[in-house]
Amino acid sequence: MKTHVINFSKQLSEAINIGSNAKLTESKNKISNVLICGLGGSGIGGSIISELAAGSAKIPINVTKGYFIPAYVNENTLVIISSYSGNTEETLNCMELAIEKNAKIVSVTSGGTVLEISRVKNFDHIIVPGGMPPRACLGYSLTQLFFILHFFKIISGKFKSELEASIKLIDDEENNIIAEANSIAEKLIGKIPVIYATTYNEGIAIRFRQQLNENSKILCWHQVIPEMNHNELVGWTEKNDALSVVMFIDTDEYSRNLARVEINKEVIKKYACHITEVFSKGNSPIEKAIYFIHLGDWVSVLLGEMRGADLMEVNVINHLKSALSKI
Protein backbone atom coordinates (compact mmCIF):
# COMPACT_ATOMS: atom_id res chain seq x y z
CA MET A 1 0.00 0.00 0.00
CA LYS A 2 2.83 2.37 0.79
CA THR A 3 4.18 1.86 -2.73
CA HIS A 4 0.79 2.77 -4.18
CA VAL A 5 0.78 6.01 -2.19
CA ILE A 6 4.32 6.82 -3.29
CA ASN A 7 3.29 6.26 -6.92
CA PHE A 8 0.12 8.39 -6.75
CA SER A 9 1.45 11.14 -9.03
CA LYS A 10 2.61 8.53 -11.58
CA GLN A 11 -0.85 6.99 -11.47
CA LEU A 12 -2.42 10.38 -12.17
CA SER A 13 -0.10 10.89 -15.16
CA GLU A 14 -0.98 7.47 -16.53
CA ALA A 15 -4.67 8.15 -15.90
CA ILE A 16 -4.50 11.37 -17.94
CA ASN A 17 -3.06 9.40 -20.85
CA ILE A 18 -5.81 6.80 -20.55
CA GLY A 19 -8.52 9.45 -20.43
CA SER A 20 -7.05 11.38 -23.35
CA ASN A 21 -7.24 8.26 -25.52
CA ALA A 22 -10.68 7.11 -24.39
CA LYS A 23 -13.20 6.41 -27.14
CA LEU A 24 -16.53 7.88 -26.14
CA THR A 25 -19.66 8.46 -28.22
CA GLU A 26 -22.27 11.20 -28.16
CA SER A 27 -25.60 10.50 -26.53
CA LYS A 28 -28.62 10.18 -28.82
CA ASN A 29 -30.56 12.26 -26.31
CA LYS A 30 -29.81 15.50 -24.52
CA ILE A 31 -28.16 14.81 -21.15
CA SER A 32 -30.14 16.50 -18.38
CA ASN A 33 -28.55 14.90 -15.32
CA VAL A 34 -25.70 12.62 -14.25
CA LEU A 35 -25.67 9.65 -11.89
CA ILE A 36 -22.38 8.09 -10.77
CA CYS A 37 -22.75 4.56 -9.39
CA GLY A 38 -19.98 3.09 -7.24
CA LEU A 39 -18.98 2.08 -3.75
CA GLY A 40 -15.86 2.24 -1.60
CA GLY A 41 -12.67 3.05 -3.46
CA SER A 42 -14.59 2.99 -6.73
CA GLY A 43 -17.30 5.34 -5.51
CA ILE A 44 -15.41 8.00 -3.59
CA GLY A 45 -14.27 9.63 -6.84
CA GLY A 46 -17.93 10.33 -7.61
CA SER A 47 -18.40 12.09 -4.28
CA ILE A 48 -15.31 14.21 -4.82
CA ILE A 49 -16.01 15.21 -8.42
CA SER A 50 -19.66 16.02 -7.72
CA GLU A 51 -18.45 18.59 -5.19
CA LEU A 52 -15.66 19.92 -7.41
CA ALA A 53 -18.12 20.42 -10.28
CA ALA A 54 -20.93 21.86 -8.16
CA GLY A 55 -20.00 25.46 -8.90
CA SER A 56 -19.74 25.07 -12.67
CA ALA A 57 -21.85 22.14 -13.91
CA LYS A 58 -25.17 23.30 -15.33
CA ILE A 59 -26.94 20.00 -14.64
CA PRO A 60 -27.15 17.90 -11.45
CA ILE A 61 -24.42 15.36 -10.72
CA ASN A 62 -25.55 12.81 -8.14
CA VAL A 63 -23.94 9.73 -6.65
CA THR A 64 -25.51 6.47 -5.55
CA LYS A 65 -23.77 3.99 -3.27
CA GLY A 66 -26.18 1.11 -3.06
CA TYR A 67 -28.25 -1.35 -5.09
CA PHE A 68 -30.75 1.07 -6.61
CA ILE A 69 -30.96 4.17 -8.79
CA PRO A 70 -33.31 7.16 -8.42
CA ALA A 71 -36.66 7.19 -10.21
CA TYR A 72 -35.65 10.21 -12.30
CA VAL A 73 -33.11 8.20 -14.32
CA ASN A 74 -34.22 7.98 -17.95
CA GLU A 75 -32.93 8.25 -21.51
CA ASN A 76 -31.66 11.76 -20.71
CA THR A 77 -29.45 10.57 -17.85
CA LEU A 78 -25.74 9.92 -18.14
CA VAL A 79 -25.04 6.97 -15.84
CA ILE A 80 -21.39 6.37 -15.04
CA ILE A 81 -20.71 2.88 -13.72
CA SER A 82 -17.56 2.96 -11.61
CA SER A 83 -16.43 -0.47 -10.42
CA TYR A 84 -12.71 -1.15 -10.29
CA SER A 85 -13.11 -4.92 -10.13
CA GLY A 86 -16.12 -4.90 -12.42
CA ASN A 87 -17.86 -7.30 -10.07
CA THR A 88 -19.32 -5.06 -7.35
CA GLU A 89 -22.80 -6.54 -6.89
CA GLU A 90 -24.50 -3.31 -5.86
CA THR A 91 -23.08 -1.44 -8.86
CA LEU A 92 -23.98 -4.27 -11.22
CA ASN A 93 -27.58 -4.07 -10.01
CA CYS A 94 -27.55 -0.31 -10.69
CA MET A 95 -26.17 -1.00 -14.15
CA GLU A 96 -29.00 -3.41 -14.96
CA LEU A 97 -31.58 -0.89 -13.74
CA ALA A 98 -29.98 1.88 -15.81
CA ILE A 99 -30.14 -0.37 -18.88
CA GLU A 100 -33.86 -0.85 -18.27
CA LYS A 101 -34.25 2.94 -18.15
CA ASN A 102 -32.41 3.36 -21.49
CA ALA A 103 -29.87 5.70 -19.89
CA LYS A 104 -26.62 6.65 -21.60
CA ILE A 105 -24.12 4.35 -19.87
CA VAL A 106 -20.36 4.77 -19.60
CA SER A 107 -18.31 2.42 -17.44
CA VAL A 108 -14.93 2.77 -15.75
CA THR A 109 -13.47 -0.59 -14.76
CA SER A 110 -10.48 -2.91 -14.95
CA GLY A 111 -12.57 -5.87 -16.12
CA GLY A 112 -15.11 -8.28 -14.67
CA THR A 113 -18.82 -8.41 -15.43
CA VAL A 114 -19.07 -4.65 -15.94
CA LEU A 115 -16.63 -4.86 -18.83
CA GLU A 116 -18.36 -7.95 -20.24
CA ILE A 117 -21.76 -6.20 -20.23
CA SER A 118 -20.26 -3.02 -21.67
CA ARG A 119 -18.76 -4.95 -24.58
CA VAL A 120 -21.87 -7.05 -25.27
CA LYS A 121 -24.16 -4.00 -25.13
CA ASN A 122 -21.66 -1.80 -26.98
CA PHE A 123 -21.58 0.71 -24.12
CA ASP A 124 -18.78 3.25 -23.86
CA HIS A 125 -16.15 2.02 -21.43
CA ILE A 126 -12.74 3.06 -20.15
CA ILE A 127 -10.42 0.29 -18.96
CA VAL A 128 -7.94 1.06 -16.18
CA PRO A 129 -5.08 -1.18 -15.00
CA GLY A 130 -6.19 -4.01 -12.73
CA GLY A 131 -4.74 -6.15 -9.97
CA MET A 132 -4.64 -3.51 -7.21
CA PRO A 133 -6.86 -2.67 -4.22
CA PRO A 134 -9.65 -0.33 -5.40
CA ARG A 135 -8.76 2.22 -2.71
CA ALA A 136 -5.27 2.46 -4.20
CA CYS A 137 -6.64 3.39 -7.63
CA LEU A 138 -8.51 6.62 -6.97
CA GLY A 139 -6.15 8.42 -9.33
CA TYR A 140 -7.32 6.21 -12.19
CA SER A 141 -11.05 6.36 -11.50
CA LEU A 142 -11.32 10.03 -10.50
CA THR A 143 -9.39 11.18 -13.57
CA GLN A 144 -11.67 9.24 -15.93
CA LEU A 145 -14.71 10.92 -14.40
CA PHE A 146 -13.24 14.30 -15.35
CA PHE A 147 -12.72 13.16 -18.94
CA ILE A 148 -16.23 11.71 -19.20
CA LEU A 149 -17.93 14.81 -17.82
CA HIS A 150 -15.88 17.00 -20.15
CA PHE A 151 -16.70 14.87 -23.21
CA PHE A 152 -20.41 15.38 -22.53
CA LYS A 153 -19.82 19.13 -22.08
CA ILE A 154 -20.78 19.11 -18.42
CA ILE A 155 -17.47 20.60 -17.25
CA SER A 156 -14.83 22.67 -19.04
CA GLY A 157 -11.53 21.36 -20.34
CA LYS A 158 -9.39 23.24 -17.83
CA PHE A 159 -9.44 20.21 -15.53
CA LYS A 160 -6.58 18.64 -17.49
CA SER A 161 -4.10 21.45 -16.84
CA GLU A 162 -5.25 21.56 -13.22
CA LEU A 163 -4.62 17.82 -12.84
CA GLU A 164 -1.17 18.29 -14.35
CA ALA A 165 -0.52 21.13 -11.91
CA SER A 166 -1.67 18.83 -9.10
CA ILE A 167 0.93 16.26 -10.09
CA LYS A 168 3.67 18.87 -9.95
CA LEU A 169 2.35 20.17 -6.63
CA ILE A 170 2.46 16.84 -4.80
CA ASP A 171 5.79 15.91 -6.35
CA ASP A 172 7.30 19.23 -5.25
CA GLU A 173 5.72 18.96 -1.78
CA GLU A 174 6.30 15.22 -1.22
CA ASN A 175 8.88 15.55 1.56
CA ASN A 176 6.78 18.17 3.35
CA ILE A 177 3.65 16.05 2.90
CA ILE A 178 5.30 13.01 4.45
CA ALA A 179 6.63 15.06 7.37
CA GLU A 180 3.21 16.59 8.05
CA ALA A 181 1.51 13.22 7.67
CA ASN A 182 3.90 11.67 10.17
CA SER A 183 3.17 14.45 12.66
CA ILE A 184 -0.58 13.95 12.26
CA ALA A 185 -0.27 10.17 12.55
CA GLU A 186 1.63 10.49 15.83
CA LYS A 187 -1.27 12.49 17.27
CA LEU A 188 -3.74 9.80 16.22
CA ILE A 189 -2.00 6.84 17.86
CA GLY A 190 -4.41 5.27 20.32
CA LYS A 191 -7.08 7.88 19.53
CA ILE A 192 -10.41 8.02 17.74
CA PRO A 193 -10.09 10.56 14.91
CA VAL A 194 -12.92 13.06 14.48
CA ILE A 195 -12.67 14.51 10.98
CA TYR A 196 -14.16 17.87 10.00
CA ALA A 197 -14.29 19.58 6.62
CA THR A 198 -16.29 22.44 5.16
CA THR A 199 -18.98 22.48 2.48
CA TYR A 200 -17.91 20.88 -0.84
CA ASN A 201 -15.01 19.13 0.89
CA GLU A 202 -16.98 16.28 2.43
CA GLY A 203 -15.63 13.88 -0.19
CA ILE A 204 -12.13 14.62 1.08
CA ALA A 205 -13.20 13.87 4.66
CA ILE A 206 -14.90 10.64 3.58
CA ARG A 207 -11.80 9.54 1.66
CA PHE A 208 -9.63 10.14 4.73
CA ARG A 209 -12.09 8.27 6.96
CA GLN A 210 -12.18 5.31 4.58
CA GLN A 211 -8.39 5.19 4.34
CA LEU A 212 -8.06 5.21 8.13
CA ASN A 213 -10.58 2.36 8.26
CA GLU A 214 -8.91 0.19 5.63
CA ASN A 215 -5.22 1.05 5.94
CA SER A 216 -4.86 2.00 9.60
CA LYS A 217 -7.55 -0.47 10.76
CA ILE A 218 -9.28 2.01 13.10
CA LEU A 219 -12.74 3.48 13.54
CA CYS A 220 -13.41 7.20 13.20
CA TRP A 221 -16.13 9.57 12.08
CA HIS A 222 -16.52 12.72 10.02
CA GLN A 223 -18.87 15.68 9.83
CA VAL A 224 -19.20 18.85 7.78
CA ILE A 225 -19.22 22.52 8.73
CA PRO A 226 -21.71 24.26 8.85
CA GLU A 227 -24.12 21.29 9.15
CA MET A 228 -22.43 20.00 12.32
CA ASN A 229 -22.95 23.41 13.93
CA HIS A 230 -26.66 22.58 14.04
CA ASN A 231 -26.29 19.27 15.86
CA GLU A 232 -22.92 17.62 16.59
CA LEU A 233 -21.33 20.68 18.18
CA VAL A 234 -23.81 20.33 21.04
CA GLY A 235 -22.33 16.89 21.76
CA TRP A 236 -18.98 18.38 22.74
CA THR A 237 -19.74 18.64 26.45
CA GLU A 238 -17.32 16.26 28.18
CA LYS A 239 -13.55 15.96 28.23
CA ASN A 240 -12.50 12.90 26.24
CA ASP A 241 -8.78 12.29 25.76
CA ALA A 242 -9.55 9.48 23.32
CA LEU A 243 -10.79 11.96 20.70
CA SER A 244 -8.35 13.70 18.33
CA VAL A 245 -9.80 16.19 15.85
CA VAL A 246 -8.47 16.71 12.32
CA MET A 247 -9.82 19.72 10.39
CA PHE A 248 -9.37 20.04 6.62
CA ILE A 249 -9.43 23.76 5.87
CA ASP A 250 -9.48 25.34 2.42
CA THR A 251 -7.44 28.55 2.58
CA ASP A 252 -9.94 30.16 0.16
CA GLU A 253 -13.01 28.96 2.05
CA TYR A 254 -16.08 31.20 2.36
CA SER A 255 -15.43 33.72 5.13
CA ARG A 256 -18.46 32.70 7.19
CA ASN A 257 -17.28 29.10 7.23
CA LEU A 258 -13.77 30.17 8.27
CA ALA A 259 -15.34 32.12 11.12
CA ARG A 260 -17.26 29.01 12.11
CA VAL A 261 -14.04 26.99 12.13
CA GLU A 262 -12.48 29.38 14.63
CA ILE A 263 -15.54 29.32 16.88
CA ASN A 264 -15.71 25.54 16.68
CA LYS A 265 -12.06 25.29 17.71
CA GLU A 266 -12.73 27.41 20.79
CA VAL A 267 -15.52 25.06 21.83
CA ILE A 268 -13.87 21.74 20.95
CA LYS A 269 -10.40 22.41 22.38
CA LYS A 270 -11.87 22.20 25.89
CA TYR A 271 -12.85 18.57 25.34
CA ALA A 272 -10.58 16.90 22.72
CA CYS A 273 -6.97 15.93 23.30
CA HIS A 274 -5.79 17.47 20.00
CA ILE A 275 -7.05 19.69 17.21
CA THR A 276 -4.93 19.38 14.08
CA GLU A 277 -5.55 21.83 11.26
CA VAL A 278 -4.69 20.69 7.74
CA PHE A 279 -4.51 23.59 5.30
CA SER A 280 -4.91 23.24 1.55
CA LYS A 281 -2.21 23.98 -1.00
CA GLY A 282 -2.68 24.70 -4.68
CA ASN A 283 -4.21 27.27 -6.99
CA SER A 284 -7.42 25.50 -7.93
CA PRO A 285 -10.04 23.31 -6.23
CA ILE A 286 -8.66 20.27 -8.08
CA GLU A 287 -5.10 20.92 -6.88
CA LYS A 288 -6.32 21.38 -3.33
CA ALA A 289 -8.36 18.18 -3.47
CA ILE A 290 -5.45 16.14 -4.81
CA TYR A 291 -3.17 17.60 -2.15
CA PHE A 292 -5.63 16.74 0.63
CA ILE A 293 -6.14 13.21 -0.74
CA HIS A 294 -2.43 12.52 -0.95
CA LEU A 295 -1.72 13.89 2.51
CA GLY A 296 -4.58 11.87 4.00
CA ASP A 297 -3.41 8.70 2.27
CA TRP A 298 0.06 9.19 3.74
CA VAL A 299 -1.40 9.67 7.22
CA SER A 300 -3.35 6.40 6.91
CA VAL A 301 -0.29 4.44 5.81
CA LEU A 302 2.06 5.88 8.41
CA LEU A 303 -0.50 5.45 11.19
CA GLY A 304 -1.05 1.86 10.09
CA GLU A 305 2.68 1.20 10.27
CA MET A 306 2.89 2.77 13.73
CA ARG A 307 0.08 0.47 14.85
CA GLY A 308 1.69 -2.59 13.30
CA ALA A 309 -1.34 -3.10 11.07
CA ASP A 310 -1.39 -5.11 7.86
CA LEU A 311 -2.14 -2.27 5.45
CA MET A 312 -3.37 -4.52 2.63
CA GLU A 313 -5.54 -6.92 4.64
CA VAL A 314 -9.33 -6.68 4.17
CA ASN A 315 -10.35 -10.16 5.37
CA VAL A 316 -13.63 -9.04 6.90
CA ILE A 317 -14.77 -7.55 3.57
CA ASN A 318 -13.81 -10.76 1.78
CA HIS A 319 -15.78 -12.73 4.39
CA LEU A 320 -18.80 -10.50 3.81
CA LYS A 321 -18.66 -11.00 0.05
CA SER A 322 -18.26 -14.76 0.49
CA ALA A 323 -21.23 -14.95 2.85
CA LEU A 324 -23.40 -12.89 0.49
CA SER A 325 -22.49 -15.12 -2.44
CA LYS A 326 -24.14 -18.05 -0.65
CA ILE A 327 -27.47 -16.27 -0.23
- The C-alpha angle 273, 5, 180, rounded to 5 degrees, equals 35
CB 232 within 8 A of CB 264: no
CB 295 within 8 A of CB 278: yes
Which positions ≥6 away from 23 have C-beta within 8 Å? 124
Confirm if 169 and 41 have CB atoms less than 8 A apart: no
- Cα Rg, the chain, nearest whole Å: 20
Amino acid at 210: Q
Return the HEC string of 208-259: HHHHHHHHHCCCCEEEEECHHHHCHHHHCCCCEEEEEEEEEECCCCCHHHHH
User: Chain centroid to CA 272: how far?
Assistant: 27
Region for residue 10 given its phi and psi (left: phi exceeds 0; alpha: psi -120 to 50; beta: otherwise) = alpha
> Which residue(s) pair with 105 in the sheet?
79
The beta strand positions in the chain, using DSSP E, are 33-37, 61-64, 77-83, 104-109, 124-127, 192-198, 221-225, 240-249, 272-279
- Residue count of the chain: 327
Neighbours of 294 (CB within 10 A): 25
Active site residues: 214, 230, 321
